[in-house]
Amino acid sequence: MAERVGFFTDSSVCIGCKACEVACKEWNGVPDDGFVFRATSYDNTGGLGADTWRHVAFIEQDGRWLMSSDVCKHCTNAACLDVCPTGALFRTEFDTVVVQPDICNGCGYCVPACPFGVIERRERDGRAWKCTMCYDRLRGGLEPACAKACPTDSIQFGPLDELRERAAARLERLHADGVDEARLYGDDPGDGVGGAGAFFLLLDEPETYGLPPAPVVTTRDLPQMWWWAGGAAVALVGAVAACFAGSRR
Amino acid sequence: MRARRGGDSAATVPEAELRSYYGQPVLKPPIWHVPHMPVYLYLGGLSGASSVIAAAARLSGHDRLALAARVTAFAGAGLGSGFLVAELGRPERFLNMLRVFKVTSPMSVGSWTLAAHSGLTAAGVASAVTGLLPVAGDAAVMASALTGPVMATYTGVLLADTAVPAWHAARRELPFLFAGSALASAGAVGMLTTPRAEAAPARAAAALGAVMETTAAAVIERRLGLEGEPYQQGRAGLLMKTSRALILAGGLLATVAGRSRALTAASGLALTAGALCTRFGMLEAGKASALDPKYTVVPQRERAGGRRLTVVPDRDDGPHA
Amino acid sequence: MADGGWISRWPVFRQLQGEDGRRDAARSARTDALRPRTEQADTVARSVCPYCAVGCGQLVYVKDGKVTQIEGDPDSPISRGRLCPKGSASKQLVTHPGRRTEVLYRRPYGTEWERLDLETAMDMIADRVVRTRRETWQQTHEGKEVRRTTGIAGLGGATLDNEENYLMKKLYTALGAIQVENQARI
Amino acid sequence: MAECHPVGFQWVMEARLRGAKVFHIDPRFSRTSAVADRYLPIRAGTDIVLLGALINHVLSNELYFRDYVLAYTNAATLVSERFQDTEDLDGLFSGFDPETRRYDPSSWAYEGDEEATTDEMREGGATHAEAAGSDSYGARGAGASARPPTDPTLRHPRCVLQVLKRHFARYTPEMVDELCGIAPEDFAELAEAITANSGRERTTAWVYSVGWTQHSVGVQYIRASAILQLLLGNMGRPGGGIMALRGHASIQGSTDIPTLFNLLPGYLAMPHAHRHEDLADYLEREGAGTGYWGNRRSYLVSLLKAWWGDAATEDNDFCFDYLPRLTGDHGHYTTVMGQIDGTVKGYFVIGENPAVGSANGRAQRMGLANLDWLVVRDLTLVETATFWKDGPELETGEMRTGDIATEVFFLPAASHVEKEGTFTNTQRLLQWREKALDPPGDCRSDLWFYYHLGKRIRRRLGDDEIDRPMTELTWDYPEEGQYREPSAEAVLREINGTGPDGRALSSYRELAPDGSTRCGCWIYCGVYADEVNQAARRMPGNRQSWVAPEWGWAWPANRRILYNRASADPDGRPWSERKAYVWWDADRGEWTGHDVPDFDLRKPPDYQPPEGARAEAALSGTDPFIMQSDGKGWLYVPSGLSDGPMPAHYEPHESPVLNTLYGRQANPTRRIYDRPENPYNPPGAARFPYVFTTSRLTEHHTAGGMSRTLAYLAELQPELFCEVSPQLAAEVGLVNGGWATIVTSRTAIECRVLVTDRVRPLRVQRQIIHQVVVPYHWGHEGLVTGDVVNDLLPVVLDPNVYIQESKVCTCAVLPGRRPRGQALLDLIEEYRHG
HEC letters along D710-724: CHHHHCCCCCCEEEE
Residues A126 and A13 in one domain: yes
In A17-36, the residues whose Cβ lies within 8 Å of chain D are 17-19, 21-22, 25-26, 31-36
pLDDT tens digits, D539-582: 999 999 999 999 999 999 999 999 999 999 999 999 999 999 99
**Gap between the Cα atoms of B151 and D267, Å rounded:** 84
Q: How confident is the model at residue D131 (pLDDT cuts 50, 70, 90)?
A: confident
What is the predicted pLDDT for the residue at D141?
Answer: 57
Before D469, cis peptide (omega within 30)?
A: no
List residues of B whose CB lies inside 8 A of any D CB: 1-2, 317, 319-321
Per-residue pLDDT, averaged over C148-161, amounts to: 96
Residues A239 and A133 in one domain: no
User: Is A243 annotated for ligand binding?
Assistant: no
What is the predicted pLDDT for the residue at D355?
Answer: 96
Asked whether C43 and C68 are in contact (CB, 8 A), the reply is no
Suggest the residue from A148, A155, A157 to mutate for an interface test with chain C (most C CBs closer than 10 A): A148
Q: How confident is the model at residue B306 (pLDDT cuts 50, 70, 90)?
A: low
pLDDT tens digits, B165-215: 999 999 999 999 999 999 999 999 999 999 988 899 999 999 999 999 999
The number of folded domains in chain B is: 1
Chain B residue nearest residue C19, CA to CA: B100
What is the predicted pLDDT for the residue at B8?
Answer: 40
Point out the residue among D737, D756, D757 whose CB comes nearest to the CB of B320.
D737
Assign B146 to helix, strand or coil.
helix
**Gap between the Cα atoms of D756 and D742, Å rounded:** 17
Host domain of residue D766: 671-833
B218 touches chain A (CB under 8 A): no
Query: D613: which DSSP letter?
Result: -
What is the predicted pLDDT for the residue at D683?
Answer: 85
Which residues from D are below 8 Å from C166, CB to CB? 257, 265, 491, 494-495, 520-521
Q: Is residue B317 part of a domain?
A: no
- Which H or E element spans position D583? strand D582-585
Q: Which of B223, B118, B213, B110 is nearest to B157 (CA)?
A: B110
Alpha helix positions (H), D290-440: 296-308, 332-341, 354-357, 361-368, 383-390, 392-396
pLDDT tens digits, C90-142: 999 999 999 999 999 999 999 999 999 999 999 999 999 999 999 999 999 99
Q: Is residue B276 part of a domain?
A: yes
Contact B106 A222 (CB under 8 A): yes
Q: What is the number of H-type helices and E-type strands within chain B? A: 10, 0
Classify each residue of D473-483 as buried b or exposed e, where b means 16 or more C-beta atoms within 10 Å of its C-beta: bbbebeeeeeb
Query: B5: which DSSP letter?
Result: T
The number of folded domains in chain D is: 1
Q: How confident is the model at residue B314 (pLDDT cuts 50, 70, 90)?
A: very low
Chain A residue nearest residue C72, CA to CA: A149
Across A73-82, B257-266, C65-74, D351-360, least confident range = B257-266
Suggest the residue from C7, C20, C22, C27 to mutate for an interface test with chain B (most B CBs closer than 10 A): C22
The amino acid that residue D86 corresponds to is T
Q: Name the β-bridge partners of B310.
A: B17
**Gap between the Cα atoms of D55 and D192, Å rounded:** 12
Asked whether B99 and C11 are in contact (CB, 8 A), the reply is yes
Residues A195 and A226 in one domain: no
| DSSP string for D166-230 | HHHTT--HHHIIIII---HHHHHHHHHHHHHT-SSS----EEE-HHHHSSTTHHHHHHHHHHHHH
φ and ψ at residue D432, rounded to 5 degrees: -80, 135
Q: Which of D650, D709, D658, D715 is nearest to D684 (CA)?
A: D658
What is the predicted pLDDT for the residue at D140?
Answer: 52
Residue B57 pLDDT more than 70? yes
Q: How confident is the model at residue D259 (pLDDT cuts 50, 70, 90)?
A: very high
A17: domain CATH number is 3.30.70.20
Residue B9 pLDDT more than 60? no
Q: Is residue B316 part of a domain?
A: no
Mean pLDDT of chain B: 89
Residue B308 pLDDT more than 60? no
Answer yes or no: pTM beyond 0.80. Answer: yes
Q: What is the number of H-type helices and E-type strands within chain A? A: 7, 10
D778: domain CATH number is 2.40.40.20
Residue B321 pLDDT more than 90? no
Residues A207 and A236 in one domain: no
**Gap between the Cα atoms of D810 and D656, Å rounded:** 7
Alpha helix positions (H), D309-353: 332-341
pLDDT tens digits, B144-168: 999 999 999 999 999 999 999 999 9
Query: D646: which DSSP letter?
Result: S
Asked whether D666 and D806 are in contact (CB, 8 A), the reply is no
E strand segments, D342-455:
346-350, 373-378, 407-412, 421-424, 429-433
Residue D130 pLDDT more than 90? no
Pairing of strands C114-115, C137-141: unpaired
What is the predicted pLDDT for the residue at D121?
Answer: 64
Residues A231 and A178 in one domain: no
E strand segments, chain A:
5-10, 54-61, 64-71, 89-91, 97-99, 120-122, 127-129, 155-159, 183-185, 198-202
What is the predicted pLDDT for the residue at B15?
Answer: 41
Which residues from D are below 8 Å from C139, CB to CB? 466
Given CA atoms D426, D430, D431, D434 in this order, what sign does their dihedral have?
positive
Question: CA-based diameter of chain A, in Å?
Answer: 84
Q: How confident is the model at residue C4 (pLDDT cuts 50, 70, 90)?
A: low
The ranges assigned to domains in chain C are 1-34, 37-95, 101-131, 136-186
Q: What value does the CA radius of gyration of chain D take, rounded to a whole number of Å? A: 26
Assign C155 to helix, strand or coil.
strand
- Which H or E element spans position C47? strand C43-48
Residues A133 and A10 in one domain: yes
Distance to chain B for D719, nearest Cα, Å:
11
Residues A141 and A227 in one domain: no
Share of chain C above pLDDT 90, in %: 94
Host domain of residue A244: 218-249
Q: How confident is the model at residue D119 (pLDDT cuts 50, 70, 90)?
A: low
* Sequence-ordered list of residues with C-beta below 8 angstroms from that of A238, at least 6 positions apart, any chain: none
Distance of CA B187 to the CA centre of its chain: 16
The number of folded domains in chain A is: 2
Contact A112 B208 (CB under 8 A): no
Q: Name the β-bridge partners of D761.
A: none
**Gap between the Cα atoms of A18 and D699, Å rounded:** 8
Query: D819: which DSSP letter?
Result: P
Burial category of D9 from C-beta neighbours within 10 Å (exposed 0-12, middle 13-18, buried 19 and up): buried
What is the predicted pLDDT for the residue at D142?
Answer: 64
Distance of CA C81 to the CA centre of its chain: 19
Q: Is residue B12 part of a domain?
A: no
Q: Is residue B35 part of a domain?
A: yes
pLDDT tens digits, A113-165: 999 999 999 999 999 999 999 999 999 999 999 999 999 999 999 999 999 99
pLDDT tens digits, D17-45: 999 999 999 999 999 999 999 999 999 99
Q: Name the β-bridge partners of D582.
A: D593
Asked whether C54 and C78 are in contact (CB, 8 A), the reply is yes
Complex ipTM, two decimals?
A: 0.95
| DSSP string for D228-278 | HHHHTT-SSSTT-SEEE--SSTTTTHHHHTT--TTEETTTEEPPBTTT-SS
Host domain of residue B253: 28-305
Asked whether D789 and D806 are in contact (CB, 8 A), the reply is no
Share of chain D above pLDDT 90, in %: 92
The amino acid that residue A116 corresponds to is F
pLDDT tens digits, A138-148: 999 999 999 99
φ and ψ at residue C140, rounded to 5 degrees: -135, 160
B103: domain CATH number is 1.20.1630.10
Q: What value does the CA radius of gyration of chain C take, rounded to a whole number of Å? A: 28
What is the predicted pLDDT for the residue at A145?
Answer: 98
Q: Which of A229, A182, A227 is nearest to A203 (CA)?
A: A182
Q: Which fold has domain C37-95?
A: N-terminal domain of TfIIb (2.20.25)
What is the predicted pLDDT for the residue at B259?
Answer: 76
Classify each residue of C39-56 as buried b or exposed e, where b means 16 or more C-beta atoms within 10 Å of its C-beta: eebeeebbbbbbbbbbbb
Q: Is residue B250 part of a domain?
A: yes
